Amino acid sequence: MVSGGVAAIYEDKPASYFANARHDIVALMQTDGGASVLELGCGAGGTGRAVLKSGKAGRYVGIELNEAAARIAAEALSEVKVGDVEAIDLTECKGQFDVLIISEVLEHLTDPWVTLRRLTECLKPGGIVFASSPNIAQWKIVRGLLLGEFRYEDSGVMDRTHLRWFTPESYQAMFRDAGVAVQSVRPIREPGWKARAVNNLTGGRFSHLFMSQMMVVGSRT
């Protein structure tokens, strides 16, 4: 049971905040029905439902802080652990999973570096990681800083519930330090033609400016 404390921060979030499925991650997965998946921040289980329906896993375990969302997820997933991942004992999960999914969660944690190491240990050697977070180096944020602005919002990169901030470089460094061999760091959504033109003209040196949300794909070493 989770009440008050950290969980209370998310009480005002709309149901849609916990309902979205990451179909892009499902499409990237190359597993089958024998695979086991662990998802941090499973919400109402949208991604888990999509993975199970596609036959890309036979076991899907979620970790979710919000009790209402967790109850909905439990209707479809193999298991849902309810609580703050920074306090949950993950010992029994070590070396059990083929895939780890962390969608828009690490930025909400007090110590994502320690938590990520604990979660990586839940993977089998060679297990795949899919993770995404907002990019603080996106050009709109940089422009705001140049103007002396740092305004929190109800959602997006500047969501007021975010506790940590990452650039593509610092994000992948966190995964490497956790024992993940990073294969790629990419924007969740492809940049527009203007951004692509700038990337081509500058040899990709400023590609970090055009990622609103970034995704790391890697594997446990």
Q: Which of 11-15, 117-121, 155-159, 190-194 has the lowest mean pLDDT?
A: 11-15
> Is a pLDDT exceeding 80 seen at residue 209?
yes
So what's the pLDDT on residue 156? Answer: 87
**DSSP-derived pairing of the beta strands 123-134 and 213-220:** antiparallel
Write out the chain in H/E/C secondary structure.
CCCCHHHHCCCCCCHHHHCCCCHHHHHHCCCCCCCEEEEECCCCCHHHHHHHHCCCCCEEEEEECCHHHHHHHCCCCCEEEECCCCCCCCHHHCCCEEEEEEECCHHHCCCHHHHHHHHHCCEEEEEEEEEEEECCCCHHHHHHHHCCCCCCECCCCCECCCCCCCCHHHHHHHHHHCCEEEEEEEECCCCCHHHHHHHHHCCCCCHHHHCCEEEEEEEEC
Distance (Å, whole) CA 174 – CA 116: 8
Q: What is the pLDDT of residues 134-179, one digit of tens each?
A: 999 999 999 999 999 999 999 889 999 999 999 999 999 999 999 9
pLDDT of residue 126: 98
State residue 7's pLDDT score.
53
Instruction: Please indicate whether residue 14 or residue 115 has the higher confidence score (pLDDT).
Output: 115
Q: Collect all residues with Cβ–Cβ distance below 8 Å to 63 and sequence separation of at least 6.
A: 38, 39, 40, 41, 42, 80, 81, 83, 85, 88
CATH class of the domain comprising 5-220: alpha beta
Report the pLDDT value the prediction gives residue 198, as an integer from 0 to 100. 81
Cβ contacts of residue 4 below 8 Å, gap of 6+? none
* pLDDT number for residue 155: 87
Whether 1 has a pLDDT exceeding 50, the answer reads no
pTM for this entry: 0.89
Of the candidates 220, 122, 221, 108, the one whose C-alpha atom is nearest the C-alpha of residue 166 is 108
Residue 73's φ and ψ, nearest 5 degrees, are -60, -35
Q: What is the mean pLDDT of residues 201-209?
A: 84
How do residues 17-37 score in pLDDT, each as one tens digit? Answer: 456 799 999 999 999 999 999
pLDDT at position 3 = 43
pLDDT digits (tens, 9 = 90+) for 42-79: 999 999 999 999 999 999 999 999 999 999 999 999 99
Q: What is the mean pLDDT of the chain?
A: 91
Domain ranges of the chain: 5-220
Residue 13: per-residue pLDDT: 54
Average pLDDT over residues 104-123: 98
At 12 the pLDDT is 58
